[in-house]
Amino acid sequence: MKFGNPEYFLFWLLLPAIIGFFIWAYQRRKAALARFAALELIAKLTPSSDLSRQVVKWTMFCLFFFLLVIALVRPRFGVKMEMVQRKGIDLIVALDISESMLAEDITPNRIDLAKHEIAKLIDLLKGDRIGLVVFAGESFVQCPLTLDYGAAKMFLDAVTTGWVERQGTALAEAIAGATEAFRSQSRKHKVLVLISDGEDQESDAAAAAKKAVDEGIIIYTIGVGSESGVPIPMKKSGGNVVYKKDRSGNLVMTRLNSVMLEKIAIEGKGHYFHAGSNLELSRIIGEIASMEKKDLGASKITTYEERYQIPLLLALLLLLIEFFIPERIRRKKEWKGRFE
């Protein structure tokens, strides 16, 4: 047996509190009546309240709550096989992991924000394959295209700026590496999301974007950082921060090159976004959702039948019965005004 929401079992911990409340309410009622008059006299003057019926009503309510919790946890049993047809697109995220991505002009820093937002993007995918390419002065495939979103997030979590020895921001090489990672002869259903500060001094990224479009790839670019320029923190110890310097001892400043990233997006038939507090990945997902999907094949999956209906029906039946059980019993003899 499987459960859809096993965390709701914790509601059973409320049962002792419910029982305690019933007992407390009954005792308080008795104490209030005792302050009004002697309980023996009240029993003569008013219709008798049968304690056994109260216990029955309490028990039925507790059973109702017990069964309601079982319905909430959604028990599943009874296996069935289903053929699921998968449709989607191939999406590769190319992430800049050069040292400039350590800049803290975005909280907590450029690369940590990028990783956080990419993880959120993966959570939004439905049937699309996801891959990850990382790059600095060179690029490599960190995660090939996959439908295993959990594995993709594990690969993403392991990414750091120290993975690539050759520093720089080789955008053209990143685009070429991502193009090769698609490994598909189809000239559509492909999207590349390039996340970088755009500081490329080595190659013609716009030309690489044109070649990618010829392969049916749409390129979205996301600029991370500020255009004013900030230093790059390299080491922190004891509250002191060491910033990157060049060979002459001058402080190295990193700034967003939005013009380069806009050119890539224009040549790539996509759009350019400037990252603020987030990377606009949800907007990209909205555009991806409207694209034509390709057939990713059928797979056989095992599912369990939902059985929450049975305890839910029993719980409602018990609540209905409890409602119609009277708390008081009818007296067979009418009191004539004398105590016997």
Q: Does 8 share its domain with 44?
A: yes
Q: Does 125 share its domain with 158?
A: yes
Q: Does 235 share its domain with 258?
A: yes
- CA end-to-end span of the chain, whole Å? 62
The total number of structural domains that make up the chain: 2
When pLDDT is cut at 50, 70 and 90, the band that residue 226 belongs to is: confident
Q: Count Cα neighbours of 296 within 13 Å in the Cβ-side half-sphere.
A: 19
| Residues facing 304 on adjacent strands | 79
Classify residue 340: in a domain, yes or no. Answer: no
The residue behind tokens 């919790």 is 69
Out of 54-63, 125-134, 181-190, 204-213, pick the least confident. Answer: 181-190
- What is the C-alpha to C-alpha distance for residues 93 and 262, in angstroms, rounded to an integer? 17
pLDDT averaged over the chain? 83
Q: Does 21 share its domain with 90?
A: no
137 has a pLDDT exceeding 90: no
Q: Does 48 share its domain with 113?
A: no
Q: Does 278 share its domain with 149?
A: yes
296 has a pLDDT exceeding 90: no
Q: Does 290 share its domain with 315?
A: no
Classify residue 331: in a domain, yes or no. Answer: no
The identity of residue 169, as a single letter, is T
226, 279, 284, 231: which is closest to 257 by C-alpha? Answer: 226
pLDDT of residue 25: 87
35 has a pLDDT exceeding 80: no
Q: Does 90 share its domain with 238?
A: yes
CB 39 within 8 A of CB 30: yes
CB 278 within 8 A of CB 217: no
| Mean pLDDT, rounded, for 8-32 | 88
- What is the C-alpha to C-alpha distance for residues 279 and 93, in angstroms, rounded to an integer? 12
Q: State the residue range of the domain holding 34.
A: 2-74+308-324
Q: What is the pLDDT of residues 148-174, one digit of tens each?
A: 999 999 999 999 887 777 777 889 999
Q: Does 60 share its domain with 7?
A: yes
Q: Does 112 share its domain with 257?
A: yes
- What is the C-alpha to C-alpha distance for residues 229 and 226, in angstroms, rounded to an integer? 6
Classify residue 330: in a domain, yes or no. Answer: no
Q: Does 38 share its domain with 114?
A: no
